[in-house]
Structure 1
Amino acid sequence: MTIPKTVKDIQSLTGRVAALTRFISKATDRCAPFFKALKGTKRNITWIAECDTAFSELKEYMGQALLLSTPEHGDILVIYLSVSVSAVSSVLIRSKDNAEHPVHYVSKALQDAQVRYPDIEKLAFARVVSAKCLRPYFQAHTIHVLTNQPLRQVLQKPETSGRLVKWAIELGEFDIHYKPRPAIRGQGCGPGLVLVSPDKVALEYALRFKFQASNNEAKYEALLAGLQLAKEMDAKQIQIFSDSQLVVHQVNQDFTAKDASMTAYLQHARHLLATFHAHSINQVPLSENSHADALARLASALEQGIGRHIHIEFLDQLSTQALLICTIDHSTTWIDPILQFLQNQTLPANSAEARRVRHRSARYLIINGSLYKRGFSLPYLRCLTPDEGHYVLPEIREGICGNHSGARSLAHKAIRQGYFWPPLHTDAQAFTQKCDKCQRFANIPQLPAEPLTAMISPWPFAQWGLDLIGPMPEGKGQVKYAVVAVDYFTKWAEAEALATITAARIETFVWQSIGCWPELLPEVLWSYHTTFHTSTGETPFSLSFGTEAVAPVEIGQPIYRTSTYDAKANDEQLALNLDFIDELCDQSSIRNDAYKQRIAKYYDSRVKPRAFKIGDWVMRKVSLATKNPTEGTLGPTWEGPYEIIKIYRPGTYQLRDPRGKMLPHPWNADNLKYYYK
């Protein structure tokens, strides 16, 4: 067939495609460029390069189109749905001999308001169109709709729109079941992954399955393969990016794994992640994961001969079905000596230990082969080994009836449940310390973490901090913003309300509120030098000249020393005071040191030391700048963890996040607390 040149030729082409639509996958989408070409005049058609491409692809497809299959009685048919901007399509599939054979293709163009349907409603519409076109098949067979979208939940929601309710009623007469859509890689292909080192060297790796796997199982297989590869390369920190929302949120404990397969994969992934010092996993759009997706396609083309060298691993079975080699621990526990004495009257060789076992065994007995202790709160307490206790504590505290209780409450609850082992309270204390969520929502200590550090040579007004506030409720003059400047040392604050935030307004504020300090400096210095200071017991002026300065008010309203002023006698007394000034300064210095010691003693008496060393992991206090505005007052009070990589001086630390990124400035110990891993 030649390329159409007239409107009649295009109409003839689309008519033939319409007649063969049951044999053509996504026929409407394939003909979309031809419909655009018909929008020209009757004599001239708008035939562009897109039309040439579509025409060539259609000819190529028709040359190798699959033969349609006829379903037999009792077959379960599968339907795949597809939507695009301008059309909805579907294909009815029959499975035979572990292969899928098409039965019928359906495609329909979207008209008017249908184009503006949300994607989930387009999927529902595609299912309705398929049911109408394939009604005999829907009536005679059980239909499995394979989709990863929540189509069933949307159609069964009571608050759905009118058309969705109507569609749900129309489809209610058929035997339709919804199943997760399996991955194409589950039919012989596999996922791809890219491992990038800190020096930007990329290692390409692909998997190929010899078994059926769903999309989620394939994503987990890629995650496990990447973790195993990073572990073998002796990586210490790993940052993971995946386009699977389910995998990312399950590993981050935001989603719960309810399916047995997903639970097994999640446990395997957590086991591998525990071997790294630090890790993080984040979701990325599929468009940003194109490199790994391309590797997955290349893996399927192995038999076609590809010149590019890619590491491909063949998996014969699911990773969760692989045999695990477990080590059995036969070490002696605290139960064994008591159990041997009660069963066989056997005592340890050491006389002191034998006397201790004989004395302790009086409170124990054996019931059905298990050791029990006669308790005070309950008649019998089941005795557990430390390993068994490590299972009981998480189950009681974080299980289905858990409440994240404290150490003593957790130990008491374990006793009330009927369990006992000697280091119960110690184990409960160690376990509760390591709870990540409890550490993030822990109270903020109000006591200082380091002793008082005196500033010997302060430099006030040398450094200011600027911040913008708003928008706030609009006030007089349409002001709804504020700019605030705070001096780092004296905490002196300057603020101004603004209607808009512009560079010119901020510059004006800085010059008027902060830059004006040199003009006021003489007044400030005069006030400072003539003010009595508690630390020295004197004014700075008297420490410099041996006498107090005469204030202007003493001239306007004379007092005794100004009204009896004698210049000659005054000069003699000033000279005498200057001779005594060294003694006055020494006394003031002693008084100042004593004052500082009193302040330091009071401050240090409240100190609860929190010292850290390099390599420790800490949590950082959540501030207004780092707080998530959507979490409100019930959000976490701590964030992290962060690793300490440098100590500037006691109480000041440089931090690094789990991804290896160093924080821009040091942090004080008052804002940090130890993170138990």
Structure 2
Amino acid sequence: MSSPKVAGRMALWAIELSEFDIRYQPRAAVKGQILADFIAEFTITKDQEVEETPIWRVHTDGSSNKHAGGVGIVLHTPEEDKIKCMIRLDFATTNNKAEYEALVVGLDLAIAAGAKSVVIYSNSQIMTSQVNGSYDCKNEMMKRYLEKVKGRMNNLQIKVIQIPREENQEVDQLARATSAKPMIIPKETTGNNSTTTHSETFVLSLGSKITTHRPPARPQANGQVEVTNRTTTRTPTRETPFQLAYGSEALIPAEVGLTSYRVESYDKSKNEEALRLQLNLVDEVRAAAAQRLTRYQDMMAKHYNSKVRHRDFQVGDLVLRKVLGTTKYFSQGKLGPNWEGTYKIISWHRKGTYYLETLDGRKLSHPWNTEHLKKYYQ
């Protein structure tokens, strides 16, 4: 204001605005009013209370092999109760079909339980993407499965989420155990011109019924060793191969002449009835053995994976690639480099495998496993 020029301009503006009767009034603090407005806007009165719909969580997984398939479902209620379901698919199927079968069964269970809001968890990328609409469904069979799923979703508030397989281990074990192929009882051929198909003689545990079996396309070598092998309990299944195949325990020929309770208390009239009873229960014995085998395999895999150093890369990371035997320069001998690069990760193919490109933009033709990659630090 000490400048005459500025003071003159201010005087001119004061003369121009004097006719409007403008008064200056300082603004009060607005923090308290903002808080009051926020509380008034977002406070729900008794008339506005919205009843929350209980959310049911369903984990699904499917498994298949060349003989059959299986599905596993774990249903979590809003009260955190857990319902497990295992279904065997006694027809030829694929993994994708088994995943859809598991989803259909999971939705049926949720609907039967009276669920209105359901969250589905599955590790199948194809199935979850097709249901959510991010993938197109071109296969006719898959389209029919998708229509069944959509029909069940009409009356539900549903969300389908893909999760890693590691977070879906429980249903994965159920599905794999259910799809495990049971052992088939070999059929004996009888008749005037018939010959037996196995070599060893077994005595069933409840009597002295002798059945002769000869292995096909194998010379009769050391019979005692083969018999012992078939009547020895296996660690993974906790059952003998003979028990799983024929439904009864057996004695090796060397034990037949020994004094034992089974030999001394043999009763021919009760023996046949006891054998039939054991045959009726053989399916349950095989199912339990298959579950124990699956648990044993999972335990072995967990022990092996505990020694594996986990390495993950992100898209855009710079890595070095291990020089393998086919790409090694043998002329350089031991002094040749063990790693080559630098390469850039552009996408991932599946867990643990990545697509690479050189720094000048040339993409490599096939993906590489993390075992052959290590991070490059600039």
The question of a shared fold, defined as TM-score above 0.5 by the shorter chain, is answered with no
Q: TM-score, normalised by structure 2?
A: 0.33
TM-score for the superposition, normalised by structure 1 = 0.20
